[in-house]
Amino acid sequence: MTMRTERLLDEDSASAWLVSGMTVAIGEPTPMALVRQIVRRGLKDLTVIGSGLALDLLIAAGCVRKTISYYAGGGFGVPVAPMFRRAAERGEIEVWECEEGILTSGLEAAGKGLPFLPWRGGVGTSLPVINPDLKLFTDPVNGETLLAVPAIRPDVALLHAAQADAYGNVQHHGGPGWIDLFLQRAATRCIVQVEKIVPNEVIRANPWATTIGRADAVVRLPWGAHPWYSRGWYVQDSALLQEYVTAATAAAERQAPEALQRFLDFYCREPASHADYLERVGLKRLLALHEY
């Protein structure tokens, strides 16, 4: 008797897919539990497609060699992500400068199996000057000047969603994040961490709600986006985000790395599991973040 293969993995098996040197894409809402696993496992030389806290945390932990960067700031209470800023200014990371339209064009080229896709946003700017991989060209149809954006192929996309069944059918609450489906289509493999696993019947009751039909792995990690939000489940933990910003700013601007190292140890390196992390955050604090 044959059986359909389940794609349900535990956090250790899923994060074992991640190895140093890979190109890792990080979605939004942010799959923080898997990001913390990267820090705990001490991966190096990653190329990261991501923004905000996840990107900054990985740079702080020394995991990043290169970032495909469209935005590193604002979203968590600082104009520019502190460790990203410091590492970029010192030349400690390579920045592949782009923007959202260029990034999605490169991801779409990968998904479509094309070497590049043309894009107009960025023509006339410094982007093709400071990123020579973006090439201005004359389009052969109308003779317009456009950008050729090379395919961007993540080895793995890490995403966070509301629910999935054991076979990799994923449903987001309130829609996926803006970039998630681009990342899934472009990546070689896609790992989705979810708030809960539901029976296949729940998926089939509303297949239009399935946003990703073939995740390579799903991992049950409730509260896994913390300290970020998870739509319909909990809001962001602003106090913890601020704790990171304060520690990272001290490390980046005042040569005082102790608080940042403590943060990385306490929240990322020492917990042996996601459940250990949640215990450190504390039940009262988590329950206070419930969205509804």
Partner 1 sequence: MQPPSIAELLACFLARDLNDGEELQVGIALPIPEAAVRLAHLMHGPNMELIFLGARMNVHHLHHLPLPAFGWDNRVVRWTESFSDRGHRFDQVKDWHRRVFFVGGLQVDPHGNTNLIGVGEDYQRLRFRGPGSVGTPTLTTHVGRYYIVLNSHTPRIFVPRCDFVSTVGWGDGGADARTRLGLPGGGPRYCITPLCVMDFTEDDKRLRLKSLHPGVTLDQVRAQTGFELVVPDEIPITEAPSEAELHFLRTRVDVDGALRKLG
Binding footprint of partner 1 on the chain (CB under 8 A): 29, 69-77, 79-81, 84-85, 88-89, 91, 97-102, 104-105, 119-127, 130, 144-146, 174-182, 211, 229, 231, 235-236, 291
Category of 282 on φ-ψ map: left (φ > 0), alpha (ψ -120 to 50) or beta? left
Angle between helices 274-281 and 32-41 (to 10 degrees): 110
Indicate the residue among 37 and 69 with the shorter CB distance to partner 1: 69
Residues 6+ apart with CB under 8 A from 103: 49, 68, 70, 152, 179, 182
Q: SS3 for 288? A: coil
In angstroms, what is the minimal distance from the CB of 153 to partner 1? 18
Indicate the residue among 177 and 271 with the shorter CB distance to partner 1: 177
Answer for the pair 184, 190: CB distance below 8 angstroms, yes or no. Answer: yes
Indicate the residue among 145 and 188 with the shorter CB distance to partner 1: 145
Angle at 94 between CA 183 and CA 269, to 5 degrees: 70
Indicate the residue among 7 and 160 with the shorter CB distance to partner 1: 160
In angstroms, what is the minimal distance from the CB of 141 to partner 1? 13
Report the number of secondary-structure helices (H) and strands (E) in the chain.
12, 13
Indicate the residue among 95 and 202 with the shorter CB distance to partner 1: 95
In angstroms, what is the minimal distance from the CB of 279 to partner 1? 25
Indicate the residue among 124 and 199 with the shorter CB distance to partner 1: 124
Pairing between β-strand 145-150 and β-strand 135-138 as defined by DSSP bridges: antiparallel
In angstroms, what is the minimal distance from the CB of 4 to partner 1? 27
**Tokens standing for residue 75:** 């979203």
CA distance 216 to 53: 25
In angstroms, what is the minimal distance from the CB of 265 to partner 1? 26
In angstroms, what is the minimal distance from the CB of 3 to partner 1? 32
